[in-house]
Amino acid sequence: MIITHVRAVQPEADRAPAGWRGTIGQILVRIDTDDGLSGYGVGGGGPAGIHVVQTVLREVLIGANAGDVEGLWDAMYRHTAAYGRKGIAMMAISGVDLALWDLRGKRANKPLVEVLGGTRMAVPSYRTGWSRDDLEGALALGYKALKFGIGGMDPHSELDAIADFFADVRSVVGNDIQLMCDASMGWDVEGTLRAADRLAEFNLDWLEEPLLPEDFGGYERLMRESPIPIASGEHEYTARGFEALMQRGLHAIYQPDVCWCGGLTELVKIYALAKEYDVEVCPHRGGEVWALHAIVALDPDPLAESGRPWMTWVRDQPEVLDGKMAPGEGPGFGMWFDDDLWE
């Protein structure tokens, strides 16, 4: 169980949308142990994240007991605390933490959903799209919930177009399909309230991330005045960060990204906090294996967001069947990678 090697790479993603995260995209972390096991996890930060893993976190990890997952998380956090409580260093820690959890599942010879106390089963999923063109394919896969990103549209000057878009989608899917709107941190408070008032007639389940994450005052006002529930959190980090948001009641739905927020160690804590504060958690891109095991095991009302189809280098990602996803049967996260990623 002793860690012998720590490596990180940034796999190519040829199908990624133009400009998506650029050079700070997803990294893949591999941890090898002296008992012949390898664990894998995905983090973020591109070459900068790789640098953190291979030159900073490696100092903490080599020679350590891989089974002490929570202890190693604390050691990595303290080792990077001067500069790494949020952002790229925490994205790197996330990848390492997920690799350690993968090892934990492999050592137990169980999928992580079982390690976390759950039972493997299919749960509802929602599809994220960015245009009307994404609608037909989502319905063909049986999705009963759809989210559309419209952060590039201005609610001050393009409100009619935004409303027309959701009116069109609602007319196609009917009233039995859940709809959500993602503003991608592109709006201000007044514009968000204008949009929420206008879009309320389309019965949206939530309005996602309209403001920058640190606009606490703005989110407090939205929680008071918006007729549509507010969701956010994909750009928040650590359970401590999420507890600060929950204490102030800033969101109705919290959306941690397990590959950025600190890994599965922190996601487990965030679910516990959500139960304490009686709020909902719906992880960002939760349909990828990294979060799906926790969603199935820990979420009382699970809903998994579709993953990133351009991450084809992750083998055995969950399939969507009738709008649902299930974690795999294999130990750990239950996926594998081509050997040439490490050459």
Evaluate the CA torsion angle 58, 59, 63, 69 in order and state its sign. Answer: negative
Q: Is residue 337 part of a domain?
A: no
* Six-digit token string for 26: 């997803």
Q: Could you list the residue range(s) of the whole structural domain that residue 155 is in?
A: 114-325
Classify strands 230-232 and 123-129 as parallel, antiparallel or unpaired.
unpaired
Q: Is residue 314 part of a domain?
A: yes
CB atoms within 10 A of CB 107: 18
* Six-digit token string for 317: 């990602």
Residue 310 confidence (pLDDT): 62
> For 161-168, what is the mean pLDDT?
97
What's this model's pTM, rounded to 2 decimal places?
0.95
- Tell me the residue length of the chain: 343
Indicate whether 337 pLDDT > 70. Answer: yes
Give yes or no: residues 149 and 295 share one domain.
yes
pLDDT bin (cut points 50, 70, 90) of residue 340 is confident
132: left (phi over 0), alpha (psi -120 to 50) or beta: alpha
Q: Is residue 96 part of a domain?
A: yes
Range scoring the smallest mean pLDDT among 145-159, 205-219, 293-307, 327-341: 327-341
Give yes or no: residues 82 and 143 share one domain.
no
What is the secondary structure of 191-254 as a DSSP string? HHHHHHHHHGGG-EEEEE--S-TT-HHHHHHHHHH-SS-EEE-TT--HHHHHHHHHHHT--SEE
Indicate whether 22 pLDDT > 70. Answer: no
Q: List the catalytic residue out of 5, 51, 235, 284.
A: 284
Asked whether the beta carbons of 195 and 159 are under 8 A apart, the reply is: yes
Domain C-terminal end among 89, 109, 129: 109
Give yes or no: residues 79 and 191 share one domain.
no
Give yes or no: residues 229 and 135 share one domain.
yes
Give yes or no: residues 32 and 74 share one domain.
yes
Task: Tell me if residue 284 is catalytic.
Answer: yes
What average pLDDT is seen over the chain?
A: 94
Q: How far apart are CA 285 and CA 297, in angstroms?
A: 16
Q: Is residue 341 part of a domain?
A: no
Give yes or no: residues 34 and 62 share one domain.
yes
> For 268-281, what is the mean pLDDT?
98
Residue 318 confidence (pLDDT): 85
Helix (H), strand (E) at residue 324: strand 324-325
Classify strands 38-43 and 27-33 as parallel, antiparallel or unpaired.
antiparallel
Question: For the domain that residue 46 is a member of, what is the CATH number?
Answer: 3.30.390.10
Q: Is residue 147 part of a domain?
A: yes
Q: Is residue 80 part of a domain?
A: yes
